Structures are given as structure tokens and as C-alpha cells.
Amino acid sequence: MDTSELEKAISDSLREFHRRRLQAAQKLKILLLIKRKNPYLYRSLGYEVAAKLMEALLESHLKESDETIFGDTFFEPLALLASGGRPAGAAGVDIIKEMEHKTLVIAVKSGPNVFNASQKRRQNTEFNALRSRLQKTQKAFDPLLGHGYGRFIQGPSDSKNYRDSSGQAFWEEITGDADFYLKLIRLMKDEPLKYKEEFDREWGAIINRLTLEFATQFCLPDGHIAWERLVEFVSAKTPPKVARTKRPRKKNS
């Protein structure tokens, strides 16, 4: 693959990753952020300042969401471009690459986190659905779960009908280039620093907004965090009613 073409594709993917990351953080609502977190943990860590609690919750949320966004905006489009395949247009499968004696079908994931049993069954079902569609090609059907990083390599087994390939092995298989996995990091150059500066400028505003929303719902009149109310919202069979914060509409100029 031409280096300049790859460098541009990496730049475009990084731009989209950071755009979606910032957009998701800006749209995040306080109730959605809180209801999936462990209030006992944060209370045990001694958080008493609402702004610091919001920063910790947001950082935790970003760590969880970044991996998914990065897989969708970076690994998946680059794997499609570099492989020379075409979009699969099927649920749970990303790429179809026609080869001389087989059809390689690829689902791209960010990292080699081991699927649980239900996720394996779903991936099996998604590959089988595509297999049925492609039967008329009369080629061998080769389903692959490809991971952008890692060393996990495994063939089909009793619990899954596909093989796994990660990191260097995955990228080399779909590109024929043993150094492709290194080129992905090398050709980022200084591009990420530009987006980090942009995100850092918005970080304070996001924390301020979340803190204001949190204080309205989960702080006592004296300013202390209402931990019991927070636990009730997360865990009670009948959670307390809380008002959904409405953002002011922009006035027409």
C-alpha cells in the first residue's frame, strides 16, 4: 500500500475518532453517566468535591468508550482499505475479501478481549448468516475475527466457528506486509497532539456542566454530596424521581 495513501487514511481516521470522542463527551448526560457506576467505590475513595467526582466518573467512562469508538473509526476503516476487500453489509461482519479459492470474511475488533459464551454464540450466528448468503459462490468460507492489537491467535473450536488473529499476524494476513502494524503507529506522527489540545480546551466546560447537573440532583443544601440519594438512584427497586436537566435553547440572532 502506498505510504502517502496510508498516512492520509490514518490522519482521516484519527480526525474522526477524536471528533466522535469529543462529541460523545459533550452530549453525555449526568443520569446516564451515574447509573452505570459504583457509588460505593467512589464513596470509599473519599470523594467529597462534586467536580472531582465528575472528573473521575468522566475519565472512567471515556476509558470504557474509547476502545469501541477507536475500533469503529480507526481499525475497521483501515482494515477495509488495506485488505482490498469490500464492506460486508452484514450485521457483525465488516469485510469480505474474495480470494482464488476461498472467501475471507472479517469482523474487526479493537483488542483481543475474550468473548463470553453469549458473545461467541452471537458472532457464530452472524458469520453463519453471511455464509448462507455466499453459498452460491461455491468457495470455501473462511470467517476471521481480527483484532487490531494483541497476540491472541486461535482456530475454530467447539464453541466457535471462526478463527481469531491479532496484532502483527492479523495485519500481515490481510496486507501481506509484516511491518504494517508498526506503520500504523509510525505514521500517526504528531497528529494526536493536535486533537489532545482541542479536547483539553473543552474538558473544563464538560466537567463544569456535569458538576452543575450533579449538584442540582445529588447535593444537599449545605453542599455535601447526598450519597444515600445517589445509591438509591443507582440501586433502589424504586429509584427516586430526578428531574432531567434541560439545556437552554440558543436564541436566534
> Once rounded to an integer, what is the mean pLDDT over residues 2-20?
95
How confident is the model over 156-189, as pLDDT tens digits?
998 899 999 999 999 999 999 999 999 999 999 9
Element containing residue 32 per DSSP (H, E): helix 30-35
pLDDT band at 135 (very low <50, low <70, confident <90, very high): confident
- What pLDDT was estimated at residue 253? 42
pLDDT at 244: 56
List the single range of 1-5, 79-83, 113-117, 189-193 with lowest mean pLDDT: 113-117
Residue 219: the pLDDT is: 95
222-235 pLDDT, tens digit each: 999 999 999 999 99
Domains of the chain plus CATH, in order, are 1-82+190-246 (1.10.3250), 84-183 (3.40.1560)
Please name the residues in contact with 14: beta carbons below 8 A apart, sequence gap of 6 or more.
74, 188, 191, 192, 195
Mean pLDDT of the chain: 91
Q: Return the higher-pLDDT residue of 244 and 72.
A: 72
The per-residue pLDDT for range 83-94, each reduced to its tens digit, is 999 999 999 999
Return the DSSP state at 40: H
Tell me the chain's radius of gyration from C-alpha atoms. Answer: 23
Q: What is the pLDDT of residue 239?
A: 76
pLDDT given for residue 243 in this prediction: 60
Report the pLDDT value the prediction gives residue 251, as an integer from 0 to 100: 52
Residue 82, pLDDT > 90, answer yes
